[in-house]
């Protein structure tokens, strides 16, 4: 069985390829791969040790050879041209007055195809634009509509954590995310704090969501009056990382109890205002509208 590699292309695009010809390959070196109707070039990102079942999808194509000096010179030349092509793409979109935003351009290594990436709120009839571009560049043209998350992935950048965007370095698929994931983790529902460079909800909101949900299921809801081995009190909040409930007794003094320490819960949550978590801070109308947009699914890509 030939070795399987994950190969990275421009814009953090990643695909699997087999070392079908059994070349001596090293991670981080550039290789020429079998592309759609031609050849392309990418960087070996990682050698895949575990077996992957490709029976339900397209079987990976082959790595043709390690990139030589001529391959790398052409690769650098094409990367330089793509900046000019992108500017020309922007101008062409303006001439055709199309409701789309030009994002990026990617040239196939052998020159048989140029892919133009764009975002748009709806489907766009770009047939006249394709004819215009094909006449200009004399090669096969593909226009690909992508979502705003894919745009952020292609352009790259740093997240609010100060590290490289997750989508640009290792995420291969985008999982559905909603503001409920932020509420579950008691995060402040401030759009500027829970949205990424793409303007959508942070991908990392899903990373610990299952942990929070699993832990909170072990306890009654905040505001519930309970009897514990350590005394009686009202649950103020759940400390997920220590897997403890933080309670307040009759004298409003805090104490902690694990799920096994809670003996009984006395009916429904006590009357009066519920404890305010960091996710329940007052929001103005503008922030509410922004949160509503964050919860809306992206348009078709």
In three-state secondary structure terms, 165 is coil
Q: What is the pLDDT of residues 51-90, one digit of tens each?
A: 888 877 788 999 999 999 999 999 999 999 999 999 999 9
User: Tokens 């590290």 sit at which residue?
Assistant: 163
Q: What integer best gives the mean pLDDT of the chain?
A: 89
Kind of pairing between the strands at 14-18 and 61-66: parallel
pLDDT (tens digit per residue) in 241-271: 999 999 999 999 999 999 999 999 875 554 4
The domain segmentation of the chain, as residue ranges, is 4-67, 98-149, 220-273
Q: How many of the other CB atoms lie within 10 Å of CB of 17?
A: 22
Cα torsion 177, 152, 198, 132 to 10°: value is -110
> What's the pLDDT band for 174 if we cut at 50, 70, 90?
confident
For the record, the structure tokens of 65 come out as 């050879």
pLDDT > 70 fraction of the chain, expressed in percent and rounded: 90
Share of the chain above pLDDT 90, in %: 75
Q: How far is CA 86 from the centre of its chain?
A: 24
Burial of 285 (0-12, 13-18, 19+ CB in 10 A): exposed
CATH of domain 220-273: 2.30.30.140
């Amino acid at each position: 069985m030939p070795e399987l590699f994950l190969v990275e292309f421009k814009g953090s695009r990643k695909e699997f390829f087999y070392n079908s010809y059994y070349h001596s390959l090293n991670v981080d070196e550039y290789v020429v791969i079998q592309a759609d109707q031609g050849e392309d070039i990418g960087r070996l990102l990682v050698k895949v040790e575990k077996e992957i079942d490709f029976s339900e999808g397209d079987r990976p194509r082959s790595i043709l050879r390690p990139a030589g000096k001529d391959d790398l010179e052409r690769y650098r030349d094409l990367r330089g041209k793509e900046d000019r092509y992108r500017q020309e793409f922007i101008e062409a979109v303006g001439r055709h007055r199309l409701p789309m935003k030009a994002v990026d351009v990617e040239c196939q290594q052998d020159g048989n195809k140029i892919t133009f990436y764009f975002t748009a709120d709806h489907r766009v009839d770009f047939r006249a634009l394709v004819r215009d571009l094909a006449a200009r560049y004399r090669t096969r043209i593909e226009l690909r509509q992508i979502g705003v998350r894919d745009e952020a992935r292609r352009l790259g950048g740093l997240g609010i954590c100060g590290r490289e965007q997750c989508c640009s370095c290792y995420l291969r698929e985008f999982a559905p995310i909603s503001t409920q994931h932020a509420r579950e983790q008691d995060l402040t529902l401030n759009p500027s704090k829970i949205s990424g460079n793409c303007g959508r909800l942070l991908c990392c909101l899903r990373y610990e969501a299952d942990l929070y949900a699993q832990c909170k299921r072990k306890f009654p809801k905040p505001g519930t009056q309970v009897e514990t081995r350590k005394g009686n009190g009202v649950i103020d909040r759940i400390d997920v990382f220590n897997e403890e409930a933080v309670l307040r007794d009759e004298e409003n003094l805090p104490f902690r109890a694990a799920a096994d320490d809670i003996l009984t819960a006395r009916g429904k949550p006590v009357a009066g205002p519920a404890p305010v978590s960091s996710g329940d801070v007052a929001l103005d109308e503008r922030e509410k509208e922004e949160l509503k947009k964050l919860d809306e699914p992206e348009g078709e890509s």
